[in-house]
Amino acid sequence: MFKNMKIGTQIAGGFAIALVLTAVVGAVSIYNITNVGGTIQRLATLEIPETSAVVETERKMWQTNVLSYEFDVKQDVQTRDEWFRTREEVLDAAESIVPIATELGHDDTLRAAADIRNRLGEDRRLAEEYASLVTDNRSVREEMDAQGAAIRAQWTAFIARQNEEIQRAIADEHWEHVVEETALLRLANDALDTVN
């Protein structure tokens, strides 16, 4: 077919075919670049923020666990308040996941966020009960320590008096009295050991 055409027509036809192919390749490229742009936009505005929110939620959960163990050890108001505040931050972080996961249609992520919210509600109740018991236990322990110190002081004074009685009985050579006082001294020492 190209044999019967003039050279100028063949060259013009070749250019026309090249132009059509270039236009087709350009249109396909523009279409693909537009799709890539949309994908990048989706990643930047939804996928990456969702991942960041999930990571932040997990980080806050670990921090909450560490603070609960720290409260076990320290049993102070400052650690308790920080523990409770961080637990609320976990809830806020889980809430921030919901609109993004809804937009993306990530049902598994939405179920996980709902599960976190539900568990935190139960955790809040248990943690507050536990913190209250720890606080009560601490005040009872302080009261017991004060009472124990008073009892130890009484037993120590009694033991000192018994030692004086034994020394006087030895000096006076009242051996029966020495045996009686020694028996009382042994009971007093046993009682002091029990208090301690």
Q: Which residues contact 44 (CB under 8 A, 6 or more apart)?
A: none
- The rounded percent of the chain whose pLDDT value lies above 90 is 8
- The identity of residue 107, as a single letter, is D
Q: Nearest 5 degrees, angle CA 88-CA 96-CA 72?
A: 25
Tokens describing residue 148: 């124990």
> Which of left, alpha, beta for 122 (phi over 0: left; psi -120 to 50: alpha)?
alpha
User: How many angstroms separate the CA atoms of 172 and 168, rounded?
Assistant: 6
pLDDT given for residue 36 in this prediction:
65
User: Average pLDDT for residues 33-50, to the nearest whole number?
Assistant: 68
pTM: 0.54
User: How many angstroms separate the CA atoms of 111 and 75, rounded?
Assistant: 34
Crossing angle of helices 107-172/77-104, nearest 10°? 170
The torsion angles phi and psi of 30, rounded to 5 degrees, stand at -60, -40
Helix (H, G, I), strand (E, B) or coil at 1: coil
Q: How many helices (H) and strands (E) does the chain have?
A: 5, 0
| pLDDT single digits (tens) 101-153 | 888 888 888 898 888 888 888 888 888 888 888 877 777 777 878 888 888 88
* 8 Å CB contact between 87 and 102: no
Share the mean pLDDT of the chain: 81
Q: Which residue in the block uniquely carries the two structure tokens 């990643």?
A: 43
User: Average pLDDT for residues 152-158, to the nearest whole number?
Assistant: 82
Q: What is the b/e burial string over 174-189, where b = at least 16 CB atoms within 10 angstroms of the residue's CB?
A: eeeebeebeebbeebe
**Kind and range of the H or E run holding 174:** none
Q: Which residue in the block uniquely carries the two structure tokens 């009484």?
A: 154
User: How many angstroms separate the CA atoms of 104 and 55, rounded?
Assistant: 17
